[in-house]
Amino acid sequence: MQLFLLAYPWDVADETLGPRLDRLAGEVGVTGLSVWAASPPVVALRAREVTPRVFQSRGGVFFQPGDRHYAGLRAQPIVSTWLRAGDPLKQVAQACASRTLELRTVVSGSAMGRLAERYPELSCRNLFGAESQQRTCLGNAEVQGLLLATCADLSTQFSPSAMVLADFAIGWSDARSDAFRCGPVLGPVEHLLLVTCFCGACVRSAEEAGIDAPGARRTAMRQLQTTLEQGTVEAKPSDEWLSGEPVLASYRRRQVQVLNSLLRRLADACRCPIVLDMTPEATGLASPESAVAATVITPIERSEQLGLAVKTGAPRNEIRLPAWWAMGSRGPQLVGLLPEAARLGIAAVTIDDYGAVPDATLNTLKQAVRFTRRTVSA
């Protein structure tokens, strides 16, 4: 079983990079780094005594784009202002290669920093036509073109062992943001309706497939309006409710098909395997249809959820654990969890994220790795 640390480039690409990687690879038993190459905005409180203690970034891409990949595209990659000079990702790639550590590059599919603000015409739109301030729509050909180019560029420049896709979903996610205000409390069904994208590209794609997109929108409007006026939340679980609304269900299914077809094109564009990180909104994608993403990462918050990771239908399953799993009194849980994951056939564990992992915690990781090796070989 492999062990990856998920990191933002500013947490690894500094003068201590070499010694840190020596320790991670040689002593702790980490097999690779997963480094954000294109991320959403982030505000991170860092565990180590480094400056700044709170790192703020509006996101974007953390490498110098190779222009030829983006020629002919209207939407262009937005380079993070953190990247003033130099090429930290190249530095990390070289340091990993010389220590036989795997390097994975992590790309946000729909929430790359500032893209939705700069290109509102490419944003997801909810049923009322409001554009997202966070998400561009992966159903839109221009957004697809930019993501394909970004992944091809990264594969060419850094030869990662895998391309990890996060936020690979279509949806008006603003309903989940802290800024979102709405009178009545919304239930799972109302959230599903509010998140469903009705941008021009999604509507067109549905209509081309013979789906009554205006009908799907009317269904969503009717249900949501009832809740907004009466404050009564639909009691059924969203899957059950949706199965009684076939037009809207087929409209949403079409979006999953669009994503699956994009995944196949991404697999062709990259010179490495695609790994799909199942951020909560991406759940529902791991159908047999998406088997092209040969690997799926399931985020695990509680040990009871471990079983979910082997039910994705993907040929290869991995898990992602928040950093606190490895910290303080919870350490023994991690030491117990890793062998259990290996027994279930989980191929890799990613710890999220390196910047929040204090150095002392690496000892716990080391123990967990040794215990797992002993258990697996016994």
* Binding interface with Zn ion (CB under 5 A): 137, 139, 197, 199, 202
* Shortest CB 203 distance to Zn ion, Å: 8
Residue 88: which residues within 8 A CB-CB, separation 6 or more?
Answer: 9, 10, 13, 62, 63
* Shortest CB 206 distance to Zn ion, Å: 10
Residue 223: which residues within 8 A CB-CB, separation 6 or more?
Answer: 189, 190, 193, 234
From CA 32, how far away is CA 15, in angstroms rounded?
A: 19
Nearest C-alpha neighbor of 219 from the set 195, 240, 245: 245
Q: Do 349 and 321 form a contact (C-beta atoms < 8 A)?
A: yes
User: For residue 81, how many other CB atoms are within 10 A of its CB?
Assistant: 11
Residue 160: which residues within 8 A CB-CB, separation 6 or more?
Answer: 93, 103, 104, 105, 154, 272
Nearer to Zn ion, 127 or 335 (CB): 127
Nearer to Zn ion, 203 or 300 (CB): 203
Nearer to Zn ion, 254 or 320 (CB): 254
Residue 95: which residues within 8 A CB-CB, separation 6 or more?
Answer: 17, 18, 21, 101
* Shortest CB 130 distance to Zn ion, Å: 12
* Shortest CB 138 distance to Zn ion, Å: 8
DSSP state letters, 327-366: SGGGHHHHHHHHHHHHHTT--EEEEE-GGG--TTHHHHHH
Nearer to Zn ion, 135 or 320 (CB): 135
What letter represents residue 148's amino acid? L
Nearer to Zn ion, 157 or 196 (CB): 196
* Shortest CB 123 distance to Zn ion, Å: 8
* Shortest CB 83 distance to Zn ion, Å: 29
Nearer to Zn ion, 195 or 356 (CB): 195
- Residue 90, classified by CB atoms within 10 Å of its CB into exposed (0-12), middle (13-18) or buried (19+), is middle
Q: Do 41 and 135 form a contact (C-beta atoms < 8 A)?
A: no
* Shortest CB 249 distance to Zn ion, Å: 17
Which tokens in the block code for residue 170? 């279509």
* Shortest CB 108 distance to Zn ion, Å: 16
Nearer to Zn ion, 37 or 137 (CB): 137
* Shortest CB 244 distance to Zn ion, Å: 24
* Shortest CB 199 distance to Zn ion, Å: 3
Nearer to Zn ion, 174 or 318 (CB): 174
Nearer to Zn ion, 25 or 137 (CB): 137
DSSP state letters, 221-235: HHHHHHHHHH-PPP-
Q: Give buried/exposed letters for 244-260 (b at 16+ CB in 10 A, else e).
A: ebebbbbbbbbbbebbb
Nearest C-alpha neighbor of 345 from the set 378, 305, 311: 311
Nearer to Zn ion, 162 or 258 (CB): 258
Q: Do 137 and 59 form a contact (C-beta atoms < 8 A)?
A: no
